[in-house]
């Protein structure tokens, strides 16, 4: 019966966050933690769900040749090599430190959705800078158990990258990064495949529902504001549990 509950959590957050154009792992992971799932197992579950939901969109983007390979590949390579490193580092960090970093990330993501309006518009041309961005994002994503899109997307938009190009780049980088991070977590986390399956199915179905809902007359600003409030609530709840 508890697996149905995990499925429902993934379904709800994937439906909601996909309407805002972002991955659901940032909400699924702390929610599973609050349901007494071990935090590392929750991160592994979020990673696998993100892998499942991002693979299809990446395949479609490649098929339609809308990915700027010269721009995206260095970022993807940086994330590929550094995300498993971040996962292994989290293995040796005190779990409360990792949770504290996750709380900061939730607040950052919520604030970006609610308040970010302006772009910095930095003109970046050098490949090594793209790779460095990918490495930094990959390391943090691996440590937190995220595919990386929730971090990479706002960073690229802040740097002045077109929102559509940023989203396509993130979708290109996520699958391999999430896959190697998940494999890295498998080396030190006992995987509950029933949990993984329940969360992944919920995330896939939620993504379909969320994308379908986008065709209705829903205000993008209202959706992002609602998601931001949900992330703030999760951050407050998670922070409160840490302080108890």
The model's confidence at residue 123, banded by pLDDT at 50, 70 and 90, is low
Q: Which helix (H) or strand (E) holds 233?
A: helix 220-243
Mapping DSSP onto H, E and C, the string for 12-23 reads HHHHHHHHCCCC
Q: Which two tokens stand for residue 211?
A: 């994308």
pLDDT of residue 217 exceeding 90 = no
Question: 160 or 94: which carries more pLDDT confidence?
Answer: 94
How many whole angstroms separate alpha carbon 8 and alpha carbon 12? 6
Calculate mean pLDDT across residues 49-69: 78
**Distance from C-alpha of 91 to C-alpha of 224, rounded to nearest angstrom:** 33
pLDDT of 214 reads: 59
Nearest residue to 23 (alpha-carbon basis) of 232, 167, 220, 132: 167
Higher pLDDT pick, 60 / 41: 41
Average pLDDT over residues 60-75: 82
Residue 215 has pLDDT above 60, yes or no: no
What does the pLDDT average to over 74-89?
Answer: 94
For the segment 206-228, the average pLDDT, to the nearest whole number, is 71
- Give pLDDT, residue 158: 76
- Is 2 or 58 the better-scoring residue by pLDDT? 2
The pLDDT value recorded for residue 216 is: 59
Q: What is residue 121's predicted lDDT score, i.e. its pLDDT? A: 52
Q: How far apart are CA 213 and CA 21, in angstroms?
A: 12
**In the chain, domain spans:** 2-243
d(CA 129, CA 142): 20
- Give Cα separations from 185 to 45, 60, 86, 191 (angstroms): 10, 28, 10, 9
d(CA 152, CA 137): 6
The backbone torsions φ and ψ at residue 210, rounded to the nearest 5 degrees and listed phi first, read: -60, -45
CA nearest 82: which of 32, 19, 12, 152? Answer: 152
pLDDT at residue 102 is higher than 70? yes
pLDDT at 154: 79
Q: H or E segment at 186?
A: helix 163-186
Percent of the chain at pLDDT exceeding 90: 43
174 alpha carbon, distance to own chain's centre: 9
Mean residue pLDDT of the chain comes to 85
- Res 65: pLDDT: 78
């Amino acid at each position: 019966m508890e697996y149905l509950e995990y499925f429902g959590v993934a379904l709800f957050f994937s439906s909601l966050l996909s309407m805002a154009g972002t991955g659901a792992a940032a909400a699924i992971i702390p929610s599973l933690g609050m349901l007494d799932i071990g935090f590392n197992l929750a991160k592994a579950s979020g990673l696998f769900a993100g892998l499942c939901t991002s693979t299809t969109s990446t395949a479609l983007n490649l098929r339609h040749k809308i990915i700027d390979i010269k721009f995206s590949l260095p970022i993807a390579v940086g994330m590929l090599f550094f995300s498993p490193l971040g996962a292994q580092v989290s293995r040796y960090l005190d779990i409360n430190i990792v949770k504290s970093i996750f709380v900061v990330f939730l607040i950052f993501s919520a604030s970006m959705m609610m308040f970010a309006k302006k772009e910095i518009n930095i003109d970046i041309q050098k490949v090594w800078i793209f790779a460095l961005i990918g490495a930094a994002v990959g390391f943090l994503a691996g440590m937190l158990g995220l595919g990386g899109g929730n971090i990479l997307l706002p960073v690229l938009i802040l740097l002045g990258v077109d929102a559509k190009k940023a989203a396509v780049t993130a979708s290109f980088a996520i699958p391999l990064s999430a896959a190697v991070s998940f494999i890295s977590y498998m080396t030190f986390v006992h995987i509950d495949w029933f949990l993984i399956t329940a969360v992944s199915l919920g995330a896939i179905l939620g993504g379909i529902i969320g994308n379908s809902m986008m065709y209705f007359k829903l205000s993008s600003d209202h959706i992002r504001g609602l998601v931001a409030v949900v992330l703030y609530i999760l951050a407050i709840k998670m922070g409160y549990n840490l302080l108890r």
